Structure 1
């Protein structure tokens, strides 16, 4: 579009009052002087010439307004000067003031274009009046010329603005046919003006908007009551316009009636309608995008929690009115953090998108799958016939996830924990149904994940207790850990009849619930991230007590401390452990760091490197609960560990003569010997178990047969007075 600033439509209007230039041509000097004196005025500039030649030269500059001309000049006759002016189109007005008083001279002068003919020897006032009349006429002529120019420029400006407008500007006759439309229509709709002139407006209106458009395109009102910003879709030309990919544009239309008032306001006649249509297609797309983003998750394209809650509210209203049942699922992807930590957030995002696709395929057409955030999703299940219907959908989802996801070129098996709540059994509000489904989801996570569970009222009390415990645990840590206490369970060598070490086990003296075992609060600490601070407290207190016993001569003991997998997420773990050992003067090989078998399979490469750093620092490494997670023997080969602990579940089954447990322990013992590892059985409670373990070449044991975990003072007594005293250092 051309810039209007580059087009000058304005007439040149003088800033100050205009001065008339009057030229007096007469061969008598005294006459010229008399004329000058008579005609002198502030708005007049008076000049003189004595000959016709001088007059022609001066007139040729074309800036003289009034010429007072004597016909009888010595060189050129006055009529000849007037003929020259006509030929040269000199626009100066001529006033003949001559001594030739014949009627013939007057007629000839007037025929040559003179404004008036005045006799020299007449009344002087006649000359003054004639000049004033001529000046007035010239002023009127200039004003008329100015108005003409302004009108022409206004029309040009109007035509320019209409043609260069970014909007479609049109005029319809009384029957709704185009009688004018600007060139913008070709760029927006692909029609030339000739194709639309004489055609009905319905040709360019989307069929679904015809009824809506009828009122605007047939508008008869004017002023504030006329149609303004009416949204209407217009169709582009469907043939011969290849570059139009979008066949519809969205416009806002403003229109008003046109009336003929030539006979006066009382007899106005409706002539048609004029209007402006502005293309707002891009704005509508932007508004739709913004609206979509406000209610959808950008990664998966699923509804977000806001839209989910809105749909759940609508579904609840319908369910109450129809007496129907509906369900809510709360889904959490198990081990999702493993993908992010191992492969990166891009791969994690890919898993979320593919999971969303699979989960959606398991649902009915009327169900809603939404992303709550992170790896959490919710599902709305309206119109359920029974509670079992929700369970069927959950089972279908679990079955679908048995197929692996291809992530970073590897097969990844994702499992989910699903909590279910039902209306009206488990709540009558959206907030309560979502919360109860969330509680049920956490219950299934606590039971080993990879499953579904429907909410029961008993879960709510457990959930409330969990929230209370979380708050109390945080306060206990922030207050310095005075509510915690370490107990120590002996690790004995039955063959040598001596205590070779101890495992430090934390207890919590809860101010209301009493002494709590670690199984009741360690999982909570793991989930909330407080396990790192709790582990720091255990390590500091255990090393302080262990150093005290070493000073008392118990130097042949090893201290076993459990480390959470979260500790291995911190790169400074070896440095922190060595710093604490040095502070308490405890040699590194006296500390036995126990890690879970899960750590072998989670981010193995990083953890192998970390374990190597710990071993190179002189610490001893044990695998706790070995055999419960089916870890590969390859991990034992690659992890530089010192010992493995047989899980108490295998030891417990020895009482019943379980041949499978005997075989498993025998296999573990053989594996340990082949790798040069120490083996220790935990959970030994009976003499029969001890004998069987000794027969399987497993002599180091830990369990209630020898002692339960003891407070520090009682454990010290055990070291001196029991059947398994502590002696000198162990090699």
Structure 2
């Protein structure tokens, strides 16, 4: 297929060549205009028109003394009902000069296109119905920001291609392309930069695409490609490789150097679907399957039925999670942390438990993983924090001795720039002293957005919240990370504790404990199951412990019984 028609210049060419000023209206707001409209209205650039209501480009009243705003809405309504409406309209230029124009208002795919013919300067002579229809057809096919086919027209193209491929017994491929973590770019450096990246993306992809490929924009940072006809599956990977290569060089915009990776899902007709909706759905599933793998590089995957089952299960569980939070189905269990020397409870860890009537018992690891993959981790994290705060308030009201509650938090939560602010608001809401809340993080934070993570931790520590490094020694441990994150406590991973008795593991535990004591960090040994382990930990001056020897995770009602009354 000829890709040239997707270039933005063609969008302008028809209107500019035939001297037709026009602007595009969506939800009573001008979303686009051409240079002819800019000049006709006496403006310097499009920004002075885009974003305004169409009747804002008019005097307060029209020639029949009806308010421009009221009459404008009537004209728009008529065009929506009849698809096409012609009427005379008094416009007002930027300098206040008024001029009468005939407006041809077209409605197509819920987008209104207003073509302005200046009666005083006789621009009507340049216009005929065929030219206008051609202009409207181009405008309603094209994504105005990038110049490639829009979502609606692309689906029409897929329908047409299915008809051809069916007759000719041919195959074609639908590529669904999504940028990884593009939202973070918009959130951190702004949507304007994001829009410019989108424009440059189209330029890059078009340079690499083969002649049998057509590019479209599905919406936001999602693009689609139709490859027709398709010779074999090897061609799919060749096209995918070319798309991936287009993103190997970083984008240079203003002072920013931006690296992008893409996830590309592919569905092939007729193997993966015989209609448009099936093909889009399955290409989308293949793309999301890749995102689930959390591979930090560009990648491509062709749809198969196994991934459909996995993704469907994930979305089903996602809905269950949302309902479980709403219904209070996800509950907190508490496992005490003991002073090894005197056996007193001096802290407690909050742990999530979920039993669903249909899913059965869902492990905390699976629940957290799905919440992270689907973006629900922020809602789940807030739910857990609020439940812990409610329990602390309840214990306080019962006159019980409160101990600090340690809550596990995800890297994804810490990467949220507003996380520390949300935590402060929640604690204030429940009137809880900060010393009663601790957060446990894992060594995996080193692979996250360390700048944002450090800022969140610093802000929380400034309020009095303690930070604990959980599972220490299991993953990406480094002394510099401990110092940079300013943690208050270490929890030695249970794998080391279970191997007490083996000289090498004992030396590791001893070294970690001595280092922590030298840095004035508290040390908790987790997974304690025997008295021998306790004796060894006492000898090396490890202060706290947690494990089945003393107590398993328990319901809050059982934990309350262990708290001392004041």
Q: Equivalent residue for 2:556?
A: 712
Which stretches in structure 1 are left out of the alignment for 5+ residues? Answer: 1-276, 720-725
Aligned counterparts of 1:346 and 1:674: Cα–Cα separation in 2:
49
8 Å Cα contact 1:651/1:682 also seen in 2: no
Distance in structure 2 (CA, Å) of the matches to 1:380 and 1:691:
68
> Quick check: 1:296 aligned with 2:145?
no
Deviation at 1:686, TM superposition (A): 9.9
Q: In 2 relative to 1, CA 629–357 (structure 1 residues): closer, same or farther, beyond 3 Å?
A: farther
Query: Aligned ranges for residues 271-290 of structure 1 at < 5 Å?
Result: 280=126, 290=136
Q: Flag the 1:458–1:578 CA change in 2: closer, same or farther, 3 A.
A: same
Displacement of 1:433:
1.0
Superposition pairs of residues 524-535 of structure 1, within 5 angstroms: 524-526=370-372, 530-535=376-381
The Cα offsets for residues 195-233 of structure 1, whole Å up to 9 and x where unpaired, read as xxxxxxxxxxxxxxxxxxxxxxxxxxxxxxxxxxxxxxx
- 2:323 alignment partner, one of 458, 465, 475: 475
Q: 1:510 to 1:355 in 2, by over 3 A?
A: same
Distance verdict in 2 for CA 1:568–1:339, change over 3 Å: closer
Q: Is 1:569 aligned with 2:426?
A: no
1:401 to 228, 243, 247: 247
Aligned residue for 2:147, secondary structure, equals coil
Determine whether 1:560 maps to 2:410.
no
Structure 1 residue 652 displacement after superposition: 11
Deviation at 1:435, TM superposition (A): 0.1
Distance in 2 of aligned mates of 1:538 and 1:305: 39
Closer/same/farther in 2, CA of residues 420 and 540 from structure 1, 3 Å limit: same
Distance 1:713 1:680 in 2: 25
In 1: Cα distance, 2:243 partner to 2:498 partner:
35
The 1:496–1:356 alpha-carbon spacing in structure 2 relative to 1, beyond 3 Å, is farther
**Preserved CA contact (<8 Å) 2:404 2:438:** no
1:574-585 aligned at under 5 Å gives the runs: 574-582=423-431
What aligned pairs does 1:357-376 form with structure 2 within 5 A after superposition? Answer: 357-376=203-222
Superposed, which structure 2 residues align to 1:52-63 within 5 Å?
Answer: none
Where in structure 2 are there 5+ consecutive unaligned residues?
Answer: 1-122
- Name the CA distance, whole Å, in 1 between partners of 2:242 and 2:508: 35
Equivalent residue of 1:301, what SS? coil
C-alpha offsets along residues 14-49 of structure 1, whole Å, 9 cap, x if unaligned?
xxxxxxxxxxxxxxxxxxxxxxxxxxxxxxxxxxxx
Distance in structure 2 (CA, Å) of the matches to 1:714 and 1:422: 56
For residue 518 of structure 1, what is the aligned residue in structure 2?
Answer: 364
Q: Shift of the alpha carbon at 1:336? A: 1.0
Say which SS state the counterpart of residue 467 (structure 2) adopts. Answer: strand
Name the SS for the 2:332 alignment partner. Answer: strand
Q: Which residue of 1 aligns with 2:349?
A: 503
Q: Relative to 1, partners in 2 of residues 1:345 and 1:324: Cα closer, same or farther, differing over 3 Å? A: same
Larger radius of gyration: 1
State the distance in 2 between where 1:420 and 1:662 align.
52
Instruction: Please say which of residues 610-619 and 571-580 is displaced more in the overlay.
Output: 571-580
Indicate conservation of the 8 Å contact 1:500/1:558, yes or no: no
Partner of 1:29: none
Give the Cα separation in 2 of the matches to 1:508 and 1:654: 31
Is 1:459 the counterpart of 2:307? The answer is: yes
1:381 aligns with 2:227: yes
1:390 matched to 2:236:
yes
Aligned-partner Cα distance in 1 for 2:145–2:257:
22
Tell me, yes or no, if the aligned pair for 2:348 and 2:403 is still in contact at 8 Å: no
- Structure 2 Cα separation of the partners of residues 689 and 402 of structure 1: 52
TM-score when scaled to structure 2? 0.62
Cα pair 1:555 1:728 within 8 Å, conserved: no
TM-score, normalized by length of structure 1?
A: 0.50
Q: Secondary structure at the residue paired with 1:302?
A: coil
Q: Secondary structure at the match of 1:501?
A: strand
Task: Tell whether the 8 Å contact from 2:390 to 2:430 is kept in structure 1 after alignment.
Answer: no
Deviation at 1:534, TM superposition (A): 3.5
Match of 1:319 in 2: 165
**Contact conserved, 1:574 with 1:613, CA < 8 A, in 2?**
no
Instruction: Give matches, 1:541-556, under 5 Å.
Output: 541-546=387-392, 555-556=402-403
Report the more deviating stretch, 374-383 or 524-533.
524-533
